[in-house]
Amino acid sequence: MPTMSAAEVSLLARAGLRALEDAAVPVSSVLAMQGRMLADLPEAERNDAAVQQAFWEALQLVTAEADTGLWLSQFLPSLRGHVIEYFFTSSRTFGGALLRTLAYQKLLSSTLSLRLVMTASECYLLDEAEQPRLRHSAECFAGGAIRFLRDVSDGKFQPQRLQFRHESGASAERYLSVYGCPVELGAAETRLYFDAALLGHEAWHADLSLQPRHEKIAEEKLEEISRRELVDTVRRAISQSLEGGDFGIDAIAERLGLTRRRLQLELAAVETSYNDILEGYRQNLAESLLQTTQSIEEIAYLVGFSDPSAFYRAFRRWTGMTPLRYRDRYRDQLVDAEAGP
C-alpha cells in the first residue's frame, strides 16, 4: 500500500490488500482517502499509528462497516505455501510447530510480539505489545490467526475465548459468529485461549527430515527482512531531515551511525540506493501534499526544494506531468469516485 506503515512489505499487509480485493472494496478510493487524512497531519505526526488509524477510518467510510477489522478478517487469504505453514508439515506435534512459528513470527510482520503461555489450568497466546493495538487491527489479526491455526491443525484448533484490551466493539453475537468463541473487551491483556491438549496433536503427514531445510529458509528470510528494515530507517531519517535541508547521503549516514560506504553497501544488498529511496520518498510526499490545498511553493519547500522551478522539473521527471496537472487529475478522479457508477 502506498501509504501503509513501515511494515508495508510484510506478509500481513499483503494479505490485507488481498482481503480488500476479495471483499470487492475499491482499494484506490480507500488509499486516496487515507492519503488525504495523512496529508492534513504535520509530517512529525505521520507515524505508523497514524497511518493505521487513517487506513481504518478510510475503510470504515468507504464500506460503511462499523466493525471494520472484524468484517475484513473474514476475507483474509490462507497462508498456504508460506514457510510459516511449512513448520506444521515438518514438526511432530502442533505445539512444536507453534513454538517454531512464534520464533519466526517476524516473517509475518515486524510488529508482532506473541508468546505461548501455559499454566496448570490455561493455555493461551499472549500479545505482548506494550501499547494496545488499534481495535480494528487487533480484531482483524485475531480472525486471521484463528483461521490459520485451524488450517494447519486439520480443523482441530478451536478458540475457547478471546480477550481484547479495547473497551468497545461489536456485539457478542457477531464476535461469536466470526470467531466461534466468546469475546471479553477491556481486558488487561490480549489473549487467545485454546485447549492445551491440542499442543500434543500429531500430524499424520509430518516429515521431520524437512525441518532443517525449513529453518534454513526461515533464517534467510529473516536476514532479508532485517536488511530491508534499513530502508525504512533511512526513510525516517530523510523525513526528519528534509525541511532542515541537510539530507545528503553523508548526513544521513552519520545520523544512522554508519559510514557513507557502509550505507551504500547495505542498501545495494537489497537492490536499492540512497538516491532511489530519497527520490521515492520525495515523490510520495509531493503526491500526498498535492492532494491538499497547500500552495505549490509550500509543497516545494516541504519536499526539500528551495526553488519551485526545481521542484517542477523533478516532479515532471517522476510522474511525466506538472504538479498542477497532477492536482487537477486527482481532483477529477475524486469527483468521479464520489459520484459513483
Q: Are 10 and 106 in contact (CB under 8 A)?
A: no
The backbone torsions φ and ψ at residue 103, rounded to the nearest 5 degrees and listed phi first, read -65, -25
User: What does the alpha-carbon distance between residue 34 and residue 211 come to, in Å, rounded to a whole number?
Assistant: 42
Give the number of other Cβ atoms within 10 Å of residue 55's Cβ. Answer: 25
| Bridge partners for 126 per DSSP | 115, 191
The backbone torsions φ and ψ at residue 78, rounded to the nearest 5 degrees and listed phi first, read -70, 155
Q: What is the pLDDT at residue 4?
A: 40
| Bridge partners for 213 per DSSP | none
The backbone torsions φ and ψ at residue 85, rounded to the nearest 5 degrees and listed phi first, read -70, -35
Output DSSP code: residue 212: H
* Residues of the chain by 3-state class (helix, strand, coil), percent to 5: 60, 5, 35
User: What does the alpha-carbon distance between residue 81 and residue 72 come to, in Å, rounded to a whole number?
Assistant: 22
Crossing angle between the packed helical segments 274-289 and 211-241, to the nearest 10 degrees: 60
Grid cell 526553488 — which residue? 307
- Cβ-count burial 39-48 (b if 16+ within 10 Å, e if not): beeeeeebee
- Cβ-count burial 130-149 (b if 16+ within 10 Å, e if not): eeebbbbbbbbbbbbbbbbb
Say which residues have a Cβ less than 8 Å from residue 202's Cβ, sequence separation at least 6.
92, 93, 94
Give the number of other Cβ atoms within 10 Å of residue 3's Cβ. Answer: 23
User: What does the alpha-carbon distance between residue 273 and residue 265 come to, in Å, rounded to a whole number?
Assistant: 9
- All domains of the chain, ordered by start, with CATH? 11-73 (no CATH), 83-210 (no CATH), 214-339 (1.10.10.60)
Q: Are 234 and 15 in contact (CB under 8 A)?
A: no
Sheet with 114-118: strands ordered across: 114-118, 123-127, 190-194, 159-163, 183-184
What is the number of residues in the chain? 341
User: What does the alpha-carbon distance between residue 165 and residue 175 come to, in Å, rounded to a whole number?
Assistant: 15
* pTM for this predicted structure: 0.70
For each successive 10 residues of the chain (341 residues), what is the average pLDDT? 42 83 89 82 75 91 94 89 85 92 86 91 92 90 94 93 96 97 96 96 85 88 80 86 83 92 90 92 89 88 90 94 91 66 52
The backbone torsions φ and ψ at residue 123, rounded to the nearest 5 degrees and listed phi first, read -145, 125
User: What Rg value do the Cα atoms of the chain yield, rounded?
Assistant: 23
Question: Could you tell me the three cell numbers for 250?
Answer: 553523508
Question: Could you tell me the three cell numbers for 48?
Answer: 505508523
Q: What is the pLDDT at residue 203?
A: 80
List of E strands, 67-122: 114-118
Question: Could you tell me the three cell numbers for 204?
Answer: 499424520
